Every structure is written in structure tokens, then in C-alpha cells.
């Protein structure tokens, strides 16, 4: 299924704060991955994406050693990024 609608990216305060703490190169890698995600949020073959157990429409996207946790809000055409952190800290 090809999607032509680009999803809007929204960030929690925590996710925005954690992204700002990262070095510029990592920020750019995360930005690139999120832009790709916004263009095709349901194509799990392009990136390392897994569904979060116990949550509806929530996923994790792996970018190197970092994890991006997000929810797809189909009715609003929004991807809400609720956390970004390293593998060791994200699930605490």
C-alpha cells in the first residue's frame, strides 16, 4: 500500500530535550530517520522498527544505539515521538 500523505511529527518535551542533548551527527541521523518515517510510517521494511508490546499503535525505531519511541495517530495524521534515548536508558 503506497501512502501519499506525509505525517506530521510532534515531540514530547522529554523527547525534544533528549534530542537536544545529542551530538550534531546523531541529531542529523535521527532527523533523517524521522523524515523517512513521516513519509511511510507503515512500511516496516525500510527501517529497524518494532511494535511496542502492550501499547496500541506504538513502536520503537532504532537509529544506531538510540531508540525512538513513538505512537502513530492515524486520525490526526501525526507521529507523536514520546521519547528518544540510548538503548540502555530508554526502557527505564
| pTM summary value | 0.89
Answer yes or no: are the C-beta atoms of 65 and 87 closer than 8 Å.
Answer: yes
Least confident of 19-28, 41-50, 69-78, 82-91: 82-91
pLDDT (tens digit, 9 = 90+) per residue, 23-51?
A: 999 999 999 999 999 999 999 898 999 99
d(C-alpha 82, C-alpha 43), whole Å = 20
At residue 53, φ and ψ (nearest 5 deg) are: -65, 135
Give the residue, 8 or 5, on which the prediction is more confident: 8
Q: List the domains of the chain with CATH numbers.
A: 9-87 (3.30.2310.20)
Confidence of residue 89 (pLDDT cuts 50, 70, 90): confident
Confidence of residue 87 (pLDDT cuts 50, 70, 90): confident
- Enumerate residues 6+ apart whose C-beta is below 8 A from 83: 12, 14, 15, 18, 67, 68, 69, 90
Amino acid at each position: 500500500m503506497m501512502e501519499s500523505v506525509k505525517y506530521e511529527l510532534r515531540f514530547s518535551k522529554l523527547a525534544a530535550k533528549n534530542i537536544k542533548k545529542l551530538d550534531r551527527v546523531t541529531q542529523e541521523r535521527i532527523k533523517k530517520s524521522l523524515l523517512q518515517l513521516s513519509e511511510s510510517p507503515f512500511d516496516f521494511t525500510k527501517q529497524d522498527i518494532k511494535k511496542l508490546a502492550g501499547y496500541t499503535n506504538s513502536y520503537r525505531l532504532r537509529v544506531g544505539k538510540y531508540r525512538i519511541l513513538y505512537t502513530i495517530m492515524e486520525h490526526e495524521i501525526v507521529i507523536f515521538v514520546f521519547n528518544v534515548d540510548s538503548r540502555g536508558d530508554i526502557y527505564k
